[in-house]
Amino acid sequence: MKIVVIQGPNLNMLGVREQQIYGPMKLEQIHAQMKDVADQNKMEIEFFQSNLEGEIVDKVQECYGEADGIIINAAAYTHTSIAIRDAIAAVNLPTVEVHISNIHRREEFRKDNMIAPVCTSSVVGFGPFGYHLAMIGMLQIMNELQAAKAAQTQAAEANK
């Protein structure tokens, strides 16, 4: 099973920018913790970060046929990008949206979320721990999908 973690604009500045909102952890530390969870669960994990909307769209599209799920923090593009939203919808993969801060308690413009309606679930406001919760959620989603496929296979064989 392969999960692709896509990080949006300014997340490369974690640990430096607005620590009162985002905390002191650097993106590399978050990724190291996610890799530990992936290794423990025999999952392949790939990390990608870009400040450019088109590169994020390209990465989401590359996941089609190559990954089993996506964890995405589209950051500021969450509130503006129909292109990222459409890419997530197009690839039709289990997608967990993550936000370090609680976007619902912040500025009014952050309450508009273009991404959530096409994501499987969202983890919001748990700080960097939200990525760990997203990993646990993705594991659960993958287990449920595998169980459903096994049940379909079993039913098809029983009907032969």
| Residues carrying an active site annotation | 22, 99
Distance CA 84, CA 157 (A): 40
| C-alpha R_g of the chain | 16
Two tokens, residue 146: 């595998």
Q: Classify residue 51 by its DSSP letter.
A: S
Write the single-letter amino acid at 55: E
Under DSSP, is residue 159 helix (H, G, I), strand (E, B) or coil?
A: coil
Two tokens, residue 71: 């964890």
Q: Classify residue 101 by its DSSP letter.
A: S
71: nearest Cα among 118, 5, 16: 5
- In 18-112, beta strands by DSSP E: 44-49, 69-73, 95-99
